[in-house]
């Protein structure tokens, strides 16, 4: 994948970033910062996506995007760009321009990473960190500077919620995941679940509360 192809795929899927960002609105972090973090996640997803695995791109990308947004909360609410990443981004731009002039085409990210002697994942992070902050409005071009809401072709929020839930469920231990699946997907009572898992009803009740608290924490950052 060339840098131009990567950028095009990122632009085509920015709706995923906006939809994910809406999950965290009102929790203390600016929407622009959420979108910038999500954009870094989207770039990582584009770089790491393997079509041969048979997954839809959004299924793969959403957990990566949400992960970057949750990291933003853990890191204190700002997107921190190190001097190392800034320098790497500037070097990448220079080397990419030189490569294009010499070869009459854009380098792939893998080729560019090899020329810079860095890992492709690190290069992707540097390229993402160098993106300008996303504007949520745009000017009309007249003197009044009229602003319009940014048009976003976002997928159904319910899809994002399902993907996020699947991600956190997959992170559970098998026994805990089975307990939750039986209780909330299978409609089983605590007593019935306890009998199947070889537990008491009290043990199921206590464990269920712990698991739900864990899931809530992961889903809300």
What pLDDT is attached to residue 147?
Answer: 38
The rounded distance, in Å, linking the Cα atoms of 114 and 101 is 18
Please, is 104 exposed, middle or buried when counting C-beta atoms within 10 Å of its C-beta (0-12, 13-18, 19+)? exposed
Q: And the tokens for 118?
A: 């860095």
Looking at residue 195, its pLDDT comes to: 92
Domain ranges (residues) in the chain? 3-135, 171-220
DSSP 138-183: EE-SSTT--EEEPP--PPPHHHHHHHHHHHHHHTS-HHHHHHHIII
Quick one: pLDDT at residue 199? 92
Nearest to 204 by CA among 182, 169, 179: 179
**For 149-194, how does the pLDDT look when each residue is reduced to its tens digit (9 = 90+)?**
433 444 445 556 666 777 778 878 899 989 988 888 888 889 999 9
What is the Cα–Cα distance from 17 to 36, expressed in whole angstroms? Answer: 9
> Tell me: the pLDDT tens digits for 34-68?
888 888 888 888 888 877 777 778 888 888 888 88
Q: Name the CATH topology of 171-220.
A: Arc Repressor Mutant, subunit A (1.10.10)
DSSP lists the bridge partners of residue 139 as: 147
Rounded CA separation 118/72 (Å): 24
From residue 179, give the alpha-carbon distance in Å to each of 162, 174, 194, 198, 212.
18, 9, 9, 11, 11
Q: What's the alpha-carbon Rg for the chain, to the nearest Å?
A: 22
- What pLDDT is attached to residue 83? 67
DSSP 185: I
How much is the pTM? Answer: 0.46
Please state the length of the chain: 221
CA distances in angstroms from 70 to 23, 27, 61, 79, 120, listed in the order given: 11, 11, 14, 11, 23
Interval 99-139: pLDDT, tens: 888 888 887 777 888 888 887 767 776 766 555 544 433 34
Q: Is the pLDDT of residue 201 over 70?
A: yes
The predicted structure's pLDDT at residue 137: 39
Q: How far apart are CA 151 and CA 108, in angstroms?
A: 30
């Amino acid at each position: 994948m060339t840098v131009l192809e990567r950028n095009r795929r990122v632009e085509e899927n920015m709706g995923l970033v906006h939809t994910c960002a809406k999950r965290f609105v009102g929790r203390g972090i600016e929407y622009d910062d959420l979108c910038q973090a999500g954009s870094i996640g989207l770039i990582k997803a584009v770089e790491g996506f393997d079509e041969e695995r048979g997954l839809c791109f959004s299924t793969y990308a959403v957990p990566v995007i949400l992960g970057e947004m949750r990291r933003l909360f853990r890191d204190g609410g700002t997107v921190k760009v190190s001097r190392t990443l800034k320098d790497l981004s500037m070097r990448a731009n220079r080397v990419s321009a030189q490569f294009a002039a010499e070869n009459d085409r854009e380098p792939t990210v893998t080729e560019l990473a090899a020329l810079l002697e860095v890992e492709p994942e690190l290069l992707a992070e540097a390229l993402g960190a160098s993106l300008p902050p996303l504007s949520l409005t745009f000017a009309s071009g007249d003197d009044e500077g009229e602003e319009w809401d940014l048009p976003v072709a976002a997928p159904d929020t319910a899809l994002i919620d399902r993907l996020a839930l699947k991600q956190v469920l997959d992170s559970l231990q098998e026994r805990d995941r089975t307990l939750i699946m039986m209780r909330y997907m299978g409609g089983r009572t605590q007593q019935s679940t306890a009998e199947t898992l070889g537990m008491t009803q009290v043990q199921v009740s206590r464990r269920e509360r712990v698991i739900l608290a864990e899931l809530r924490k992961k889903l809300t950052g």
